[in-house]
Structure 1
């Protein structure tokens, strides 16, 4: 509409850094979706820590036809100074709305606030938050975030139900917006796969997990399940590849478990990988496994499917929702069930092809533009 006042929105991109791999990808993908929109009545400011971001937001600015700008700040996530300096920044730039992608955020903003809440792992999974002080801090900051936000975005209906049930948040305040998947997650041709496999020195046959090594990812039981599978097929040369940022608090335990189970040489730790390497890992694998005890969504499941990789996953939290109706599910607390599902998939070529087709058919639902448009509608509500 000609003459319509432009709405100024701040997207807090300070979490787009290696310490927050999943949140960082969500934030960047949302900004990329905004860059592709043609809506003239919104102007976006990306609040960035230029010194530690793992994404090139400048490319989005260049492609957004002046609808996006970067505002640099040295205020890091978790800094006490964010509680007064970011509200001052919001007032100075006259923001109409602040989109916070994490529950620890400035709570006294001079404008409306949209919060993205991915999950309640800290409340639902025992041991994720070590000690009573951490648990108390989680409760206080989460309550504050839910109370002081005009809308709460979640990525799954499962997470929305958890927020309503455990924090008594009105369902009217919550909106579910599935995340977008970047176009670079796609099947590669066989020739390129062969070349990339050699370049990264990947096994000829392997099953894959991507993510951190934190307790809720359930890697100990995945290792036990993989051992059970190998005991049934001792002649198999298949390997297990674990890729993703390793938290040093848990690395010794996981690596000790590999030795204890006699899996040395059968488990490959890739550590943190680039997006290009991640696409390669998905394309060169034969099966993706997500064994988490709880997830607010489970983005790697969709990334794997977008690359044409069959998936099996846990039946807990949002993972059945992320994976779709036909993906074989297992009890993540039962290594025998996980092993049985690995065996089911690897022994049934037709099922593997069906799962590949199922995954590829779903990906059109998860575009960056669709996620951005759905988020924009929520901005309009406040």
Structure 2
């Protein structure tokens, strides 16, 4: 039996914009899909998802789908402007967008947008896979905060994904209260705590953008005999060539392994065999791979930045991301059996804080407050 949502006396009608989901389900795409699934599982929610590609139609089973245009296509700007009129016919209470761009004029519902971080304002170099026109648009969008502030003002409420991101964004991009909908991890069979110190493999999961600072991980290797760095994510040829050159310059070309994408099972297996998960990122909105590693009982070695202190629950070995020698020191410390087992045990407890049902509860609290 469907549970009513007080004070409406009926299920909350929510439209979730899944059109920004990429075919590689990671990062914001992972956040979008898993949050949508968790909302779909709530009996007090009547969920419809917006899609624009065939591969998106099966991402959230058992809910209504509405296929519309691709919002990333500049030729569809007029269609995006007209989108609220189409959505009004479905009489939603809330339309949730996991990013910050969606047509909103003329709507008869509450619109909620999301900004995950301020990384592009600090590191404005566009992704290398964008077209020339898209790169120009990227530069224009992030040259000042004015365009983003205007876009976010089109929403009734705005959310982000961590308290650290909230502290940075609030007042700079959003003048009102900024809600937090945290990330989660898929609930797996609990992994037993384990000593990972005997492994010579360290793993990195994430994109290869400028702020991720993968070069520091590579430049730490000369001070770490036998240690191999496994780069798990997909990487474009140009960026791979850049990192390969850094590795050869450092004399560790034979100790860098590009996996260029892995399945969820491969990811789990590689984590299980690793000494630690590593990241030298200079700035993050959250840092989901950290929690994914902790959930599997794998120690974390990461940058000494505020967001990682929040997300790890202080269960990590921290280092200065600008100093390869300090990075090497932290990775070497992870080879201590006592520390490894303690971080495995405590990391499992910390990761239990981050579940998609809890994220869905935070989202529902925001939706109810908005209406």
Shorter-chain-normalised TM-score: which range? 0.7 to 0.9
- Correspondence for 1:280 among 269, 284, 291: 269
Distance 1:253 1:57 in 2: 34
Give the match's secondary structure for 1:8.
strand
Q: CA deviation at 1:81?
A: 4.3
Give the match's secondary structure for 2:9.
coil
Q: CA deviation at 1:126?
A: 5.2
Give the match's secondary structure for 1:43.
strand
Give the match's secondary structure for 1:21.
coil
Which of 318-327 and 14-23 deviates more?
A: 14-23
Moved over 4 A (4+): 128-133
Partner of 1:339: 328
Partner of 1:116: 114
- Contact preservation (8 Å) 2:16, 2:49: yes
Partner of 2:131: none
- Contact preservation (8 Å) 1:243, 1:272: yes
- Correspondence for 1:4 among 1, 9, 14: 9
- CA gap 1:128/1:336 in 2 versus in 1, 3 angstroms: farther
Distance 1:7 1:98 in 2: 11
Distance 2:344 2:293 in 1: 10
- Contact preservation (8 Å) 2:234, 2:261: yes
Give the match's secondary structure for 1:98.
strand
Q: Does 1:177 align with 2:165?
A: no
Distance 1:6 1:368 in 2: 20
- Contact preservation (8 Å) 1:115, 1:151: yes
Distance 2:295 2:58 in 1: 23
Give the match's secondary structure for 1:105.
coil
- CA gap 1:71/1:126 in 2 versus in 1, 3 angstroms: closer
- Contact preservation (8 Å) 1:184, 1:279: no
Distance 1:140 1:248 in 2: 34
Distance 1:229 1:109 in 2: 59
Distance 1:100 1:318 in 2: 23
- Contact preservation (8 Å) 2:193, 2:341: no
Q: Does 1:255 align with 2:228?
A: no
Distance 1:352 1:188 in 2: 13
Q: Does 1:13 align with 2:13?
A: no
Partner of 1:239: 228
Which of 245-254 and 351-360 deviates more?
A: 245-254
Q: CA deviation at 1:128?
A: 5.3
- Correspondence for 2:172 among 162, 166, 182: 166
- Contact preservation (8 Å) 1:75, 1:82: no
Matches within 5 A, 1:1-382: 4-18=9-23, 21-39=26-44, 42-53=45-56, 56-59=58-61, 61=62, 68-79=63-74, 80-108=77-105, 110=107, 111-125=109-123, 127=125, 134-138=138-142, 139-167=145-173, 169-170=174-175, 172-184=176-188, 187=191, 205-230=200-225, 236=226, 238-346=227-335, 348-382=336-370
- Contact preservation (8 Å) 2:101, 2:113: no
Q: CA deviation at 1:204?
A: 6.5
Q: CA deviation at 1:140?
A: 5.0
Which of 206-215 and 124-133 deviates more?
A: 124-133
Distance 2:178 2:288 in 1: 20
Q: CA RMSD in A?
A: 2.7
Give the match's secondary structure for 1:166.
coil
Which of 321-330 and 105-114 deviates more?
A: 105-114
TM-score of the superposed pair, with normalisation by structure 1: 0.84
Distance 2:54 2:268 in 1: 26
Q: CA deviation at 1:270?
A: 0.5
Cα deviation per residue 1:15-49 (whole Å; 9 max; x = unaligned)?
2223673011001110121133232xx31111122
- Contact preservation (8 Å) 1:225, 1:338: yes
Give the match's secondary structure for 2:364.
helix
Cα deviation per residue 1:292-347 (whole Å; 9 max; x = unaligned)?
0111000000000001100011122522211112322111111111111111111x
Distance 1:275 1:255 in 2: 25
- CA gap 1:189/1:310 in 2 versus in 1, 3 angstroms: closer
- Contact preservation (8 Å) 1:8, 1:96: yes
Q: CA deviation at 1:267?
A: 0.9
Please list every run of 5 or more consecutive structure 2 residues that lacks an aligned counterpart in the other structure: 129-134
- Contact preservation (8 Å) 1:240, 1:266: yes
